[in-house]
Structure 1
């Protein structure tokens, strides 16, 4: 069962599952707790998994004004503190990975390790142009279904479109009772278009695993490799046949890899205490 947690001026919707070392899951553009269902189900035997709806998504309200990544990182910190979690392994995908980077920079004491899926340090010109195309597609699409059909071409592999997975995700999204408004979606997107951690990633001390999908048209592998190069000691791996969200398309493979990484991070944490 989920509940709202007070974090600053926000009431942030959170859900937890399992027992063990703490893990915080941070979703991307417009994604809610439900995007992490395979992890909430598949890793709860080993970890206490916490996921939450970012501001302006799902059951968490969007405050007035333009959101910033810094504010969203503080939201994540507020969730951990509100749940009395002293530190957690943090995993984020896409925009959530940028929030995770900023969380590790602003609140390093809360971050035991980092998994950054489909990440970047600053949008290059290609990604900014793609983001602008998403922006006008969201504004001009004839309906929500048409927009999702376009947007998910950038998120999932042809395999997932052809085997019916994407169709099921679209139907679920259209039936979801807490849909994000187009305005909040665009404000969320705008926050990432102007944000950069490139000059500061060297300050991150948490063990870090950077994962990229080999056929991801947005967070291209070279962007993730650049992030890993800037974080001291970071590991970088490409899942060659995957796109933007392998934690949904191949959850068993993804869960096994991050579980291995978290176990290594736990051993390192124990040795340095």
Structure 2
């Protein structure tokens, strides 16, 4: 299988899939690993065009991103798992809850929406990245990802994540932007039947609290949590993030 993935935690524990955001690798989940790997067999993977995971030959779509998770479950011979995704990874989780809910006990989706941004914006970003590379996008990412206070107080961490994005695969990033340009699950939300935790960031300018509230109002089985963070809530607020996810999965 061409998907770049890693397993941590007890082999006999329930499987938990972690799906990261656009422009990051599975190392984004490091703040969760000490807590989650005590109780779960944690599967981290890099989405298409990220890390060592190649792009498909066909144009990338949200369906391909979702089917990759199902393929990983099949490869590991896991009938049902838990799932936690953030941003683009959260949108992948929404797709899975609509089209493969029987494969998941529960799903947590953070800092995401049934429709993230708009087609024109994503196509423009894809074109920019193909022409200029990832450095200009990386330079503006801290303002989207973190509050001003977090940027000031955790400057080395913010710099490390920004530099990682700048070193990423521009073609892979652009292809994911083009997939996001077409991804719209608003009509599918009422059919997302598996229990789902929706985590919003109080200061998130990308996927807002209103986006999360809309999911909670329109999906049949949602628990809503709002954390005092911006867009990358698992990094900015790891203790509260871990607490919300683990409590939700444990019930």
Give the alignment's TM-score, normalised by structure 1.
0.83
Q: Report the counterpart of residue 6 of structure 2 in structure 1.
A: 15
Q: Which of 129, 135, 142 is the equivalent residue of 1:152? A: 142
| C-alpha deviation, 1:139, in angstroms | 4.6
For 1:45, what is the secondary structure of its paired residue?
helix
Task: Please say if 1:204 is aligned against 2:198.
Answer: no
How far, CA to CA, are the matches of 2:161 and 2:9 in structure 1? 25
Corresponding residue pairs, total: 247
1:55-74 alignment, distance < 5 Å: 55-74=48-67
1:57-96 alignment, distance < 5 Å: 57-96=50-89
**Mapped contact 1:134–1:151 kept (Cα < 8 A):** no
1:1-273 alignment, distance < 5 Å: 6=1, 11-19=2-10, 20-123=13-116, 127-128=118-119, 131=122, 134-135=125-126, 137-139=128-130, 141=132, 144-163=134-153, 164=155, 165-173=157-165, 179-239=167-227, 241-264=228-251
5+ residue gaps, structure 1, are 1-5, 265-273
5+ residue gaps, structure 2, are none
How far, CA to CA, are the matches of 1:115 and 1:166 in structure 2? 24
**Mapped contact 1:130–1:218 kept (Cα < 8 A):** no
How far, CA to CA, are the matches of 1:43 and 1:231 in structure 2? 26
| C-alpha deviation, 1:85, in angstroms | 1.4
Give the alignment's TM-score, normalised by structure 2.
0.90
How far, CA to CA, are the matches of 1:24 and 1:155 in structure 2? 22
Structural RMSD (CA): 2.0
The runs of at least 4 aligned residues of structure 1 exceeding 2 Å deviation read 127-141, 143-147, 168-174
